[in-house]
Structure formats: structure tokens, C-alpha cells
Structure 1
Amino acid sequence: RLPLPIPVPVRVGRPGAGYPWPWSIVAHRPGASALRTPPDDPMEAAATMGRFVAALARPAPPDAPHNPFRGIPLADRDDRTRAWIDQLSGLIDAPSVTSCWAEHEAIPRWTGEAVWLHGDLHPNNVIVDGGRITGIIDFGDLTAGDPATDLGVAWTLLAPEARPVLREALDVDDDTWARGRGWALSLGLAYLAHSADDPDFGRCGRATIDAVLADA
């Protein structure tokens, strides 16, 4: 059982009638995304996210949903990540980002059991109400694989002083924590590269890149 509310479908549907994707209707949750309304207490936020990620990251069965973009070795994201660096070369310190990415991409890959992953734990999918984290949404990238994938939230959401609180809650080894930072860098680049219609998301991407560079 997860320690935070998540969307529970009340209706589901199949593609059709001009809409090409599966769809669902879920109950509304009060609050706003952490991207636009950050939690009041960074330490409490880190502890809350630590409990959630730890509860979710249980061994997954062989038939868990497959996602070719999440839960995979960082090396498998190399081409896409370098393409984003090239695309953003006028907006970021491309040489520093390239060097940082190369260091993280070379970290030994995960060889343990595949665990359940949210797959997209950025601030826009974290709900805050009354200054506290009260829910997690958007499980469209749900999959199984390297637990480092969801650790990227340490750099996309949390202040530097709060990251040790998250790590302590998860009790992960150095390589897994470092791969989480690599995931944050790759995803931060993706957020910035795809933010033309969402300036807030672009700022999230840039802040994530800066956070990783400052911490690496």
C-alpha cells in the first residue's frame, strides 16, 4: 500500500471515435502541482517522497508494463540525451553538461531485481495542498527496472539540504544514487527541450540541470 493517494480510475476507455489513445477518468484531488506551488517544508517534503518511493520500489513481476524510455540503463539514453544537449547548446553550458553526462552514463548499471517505478516523478506530477505533498499523479510511464529512475526527484524537486533525507529513507548504494542524478540530468534536458508551450516546465528543466551540475 502506498503512503500517498494516487489516481484510481472510475472509468476507462479504449481508442476510438477520433481519439487514438486509451483513456481514463479519475477522481479530482484538491491542490496544485509542486511545480507551481512548492511544499513549505523541504525536509518534510523529502521525507514524504522518500516514504512514497520506498513503498513503490518493490520487486516487480515479469509481466510488469514495459517502457522503452524508463527504468533502462543510462547508456540506453545516451543518443537522446546528447541530442538534447546539441539542441539546447545556445541555452546551457553544453561542454559542462556533456562532461557531466559522460561521467554518469559510465556508472555501472543496475544488476538487481527490476522494481516498480512511477517513471515520471517531476514536480508537475506531485500534488501539494496546504503546503504539504498530498498526492502523486500521472502513472502513464509506470514500468519496472532500475530504481535510480525515480531518484531523479531528488534534483527535480528537492532543495540540496533535503536530498540526504530522501536518500536516508531509501538506503541506496552510491552507484544507484549517482545514477539517479544522471536520470535527473537526462530528464531535465528533456523537460527544457520540450517546453516551448510551457515556460514553467522549461524553468524546471533548467533548474534541474543546474542542480545536477552543482552537485556532481
Structure 2
Amino acid sequence: MTDSHQDGRAGIDATLVRRLIEQQFPQWADLPVTPVKVDGWDNRTYRLGTDLTARLPTASAYVAAVDKEHTWLPVLAPLLPVEIPTAVAKGAPGFGYPHPWAIRRWISGETASSDTVGDLDEFARSIADFILALQSVDATGGPLAGEHSFYRGASLQHYHDETIEALAVLKGRIDADLAGEVWDAALASVWDRPPVWFHGDIASGNLLVQDGRLSAVIDFGTSGVGDPACDLVIAYTFFSGTSRAAFREAVAQDSAMWARARGWALWKALITSDLPVVQTVLDDYVAQKH
């Protein structure tokens, strides 16, 4: 079988996955190995038969997520309103592949989009419910935000230099002065409460839909405990109009949290030159000021 996803990232392909399974998990050696249709950058994911997946980090920066998710997904799952990944087993390096890797249960569903979501306002409220449920989970002993979460949940100061550089590059294409004001407001706001759980990457690609409704949230690789402002970014990247208003009302976070959320959204949009999202953030800042 040829592997249409073979692209050199960490030398991962279906043949490697099959060999790792045969060596480490012979009970699943007869299952077909096929690349998933929608894959991420941090990990390569392959289906094992119909019920399992193999998930392999593409670089050492993403390895910390394997143990973190294996430990904490079972703790979080019973306390959340929709399905999340189930940790089944951990694999070890082998055949030249240098990292630990994971076997998970396959979760059915379509990736969230304007075509797959039935009612965006209802969907926005479902995402808010998930965020609030996650924040309410006991964070004792949880992984404090830092390198493993790519500093999601930590201070935006970590990305200050990168943001200032991007502002300089995009000057003339955006209102750089206003964007700088948004960034300064985000940095001036500090999370001064006990750390709570955050997902770290609540984006359409990590949200699964069945029958038009939210059915699962996947990829907890950037999760941890800290400041949950990063989980509000979807307000600017996916919702708009009444759905953004529904999300804002349902998630019920204060203005300081939203200041930091705009900072997270602005940073990512600037470094990826996503000018529509930059403008959305700026418009929201002006609207909320008045």
C-alpha cells in the first residue's frame, strides 16, 4: 500500500506504523493502517482498523503531549460534556523513529465548518459549555502552562518580540498603531487567580460535529493549567455576528480575560499574516471600548 501522506516529517509513513504495531502491539498487527483524511502538523495520525488510531509526534517539541494526554485524558473525560480522545496505549521508539507515540480510540465526526455546523449560535453555546466545564475541573497537580503547551495558558509576554516584529512587517497593511494598542492592553492584563484547565487550541480543526452539533473536542496536546484566555480565540477565528455574541454571553468571562484573548488572537493572526482575523480583533477592541 502506498502512503499518500508520506512527506518526510520525522520519516513517518504507513510502513513504519505497521512495523511498530507488529513489534509492540502484536494483538493489532492484522489491522489495516491508513492515513486519516484530515491530519495535523504536530502529529501524524493513522487509523488502525475501524476503532483505533496511531498518533506519532513529528518532532521532539511535540513529544511532551504523549505522556501528558495519556495521564490526563482519562481524568478529564468523565467531567466534560462531549467526547474527547481515549488513551489506549503508549508506544516506544523503534525502527529509527525516535519518539514515544500513542494509540487512541477513533472518534467519528466531521470537522467543524460553516457547512457541517447546523446552528452556529447553538454551536457557540456548546463550545462555551465545554470551556466552562473544563475550567471547573480540579486543576490540582495538573501540568502548569509552559513549554509543553507552547506557552498557551502562560503570559503573552513570551511572544512579545515576535508580535512587535510582525507589527513592523505588516505596517501599512494593517492599522499597526491600533494593533499595538490592543497588544499593550493584553499585556497589561494579568491572570491573578489560581490556575484552571485550558485546552489551548480550540479551533475548528479540533472540533467534531455529528448531525450539525458539537460531538467531540480532540487534540489536547497544548492543554494544561493556567490562564484560560487562549481558549476564547475561536470568537475571532470562527464565530461572527450573533454567534460571537452568543459565545461571549454564554462563556461569561470578564473584560480582562477578553483583553488577553484578543492578544492571543492578534499574535497568531499577525505571525501568519491572517489580515481578516487581525481586522476582526481590532474591530472588536474598538467596539468593546465604546
**Shorter-normalised TM-score: what interval?**
0.7 to 0.9
d(CA) in 2 for partners of 1:167 and 1:179? 14
Matched, 1:13 2:56: no
Give the aligned partner of residue 198 of structure 1.
Answer: none
Matched, 1:55 2:133: yes
Q: Equivalent residue of 2:194, what SS?
A: coil
Q: Equivalent residue of 1:134, what SS?
A: strand
TM-score, reference length from structure 2: 0.62
AA partner of residue 79 (structure 1): D
Does the Cα contact within 8 Å between 1:37 and 1:128 map onto a contact in 2? no
Q: Equivalent residue of 1:210, what SS?
A: helix
Q: Once the 2 structures are TM-superposed, how far is the Cα of residue 119 of structure 1 from its aligned partner? A: 0.7
Give the aligned partner of residue 83 of structure 1.
Answer: 165
Q: Deviations over 1:132-159 (max 9, x none)?
A: 2211111111111112111112112212
Matched, 1:144 2:213: no
Q: Equivalent residue of 1:57, what SS?
A: helix
d(CA) in 1 for partners of 2:210 and 2:173? 33
AA partner of residue 154 (structure 2): I
Q: Equivalent residue of 1:106, what SS?
A: helix
Q: Deviations over 1:57-77 (max 9, x none)?
A: 135124425433211122232
Give the aligned partner of residue 234 of structure 2.
Answer: 153
d(CA) in 2 for partners of 1:122 and 1:61? 26
Q: Deviations over 1:28-57 (max 9, x none)?
A: 222322257452311101110010000001
d(CA) in 1 for partners of 2:205 and 2:82? 16
- Which of 115, 119, 122 matches 1:41? 119
Give the aligned partner of residue 193 of structure 2.
Answer: 112
Structure 2 counterparts to residues 1-216 of structure 1, below 5 A: 1-35=79-113, 37-58=115-136, 59-68=138-147, 69-86=151-168, 89=170, 92-93=173-174, 95-96=176-177, 98-190=179-271, 192=272, 205-216=274-285
**Distance change >3 Å, CA 96–CA 128, structure 1 → 2:** farther
**Distance change >3 Å, CA 35–CA 100, structure 1 → 2:** farther
5+ unaligned residues in a row in structure 1: which ranges? Answer: 194-204
Does the Cα contact within 8 Å between 2:153 and 2:225 map onto a contact in 1? yes
AA partner of residue 208 (structure 1): V
RMSD of aligned Cα (Å)? 2.5
d(CA) in 2 for partners of 1:73 and 1:102? 12
Q: Once the 2 structures are TM-superposed, how far is the Cα of residue 118 of structure 1 from its aligned partner? A: 0.5
Q: Once the 2 structures are TM-superposed, how far is the Cα of residue 11 of structure 1 from its aligned partner? A: 2.4
Q: Once the 2 structures are TM-superposed, how far is the Cα of residue 5 of structure 1 from its aligned partner? A: 0.8
AA partner of residue 209 (structure 1): V
Give the aligned partner of residue 30 of structure 2.
Answer: none
Higher relative contact order (CA 8 A, sep 6+): 1
**Distance change >3 Å, CA 215–CA 129, structure 1 → 2:** same
5+ unaligned residues in a row in structure 2: which ranges? Answer: 1-78, 286-290
TM-score, reference length from structure 1: 0.81
Q: Equivalent residue of 1:127, what SS?
A: strand
d(CA) in 1 for partners of 2:211 and 2:159? 37
Q: Please say which structure displays the higher CA radius of gyration.
A: 2
d(CA) in 2 for partners of 1:129 and 1:5? 12
User: Structure 1 residue runs of 4+, over 4 Å off?
Assistant: 35-38
Q: Equivalent residue of 1:80, what SS?
A: helix
d(CA) in 2 for partners of 1:30 and 1:127? 8
**Distance change >3 Å, CA 188–CA 28, structure 1 → 2:** farther
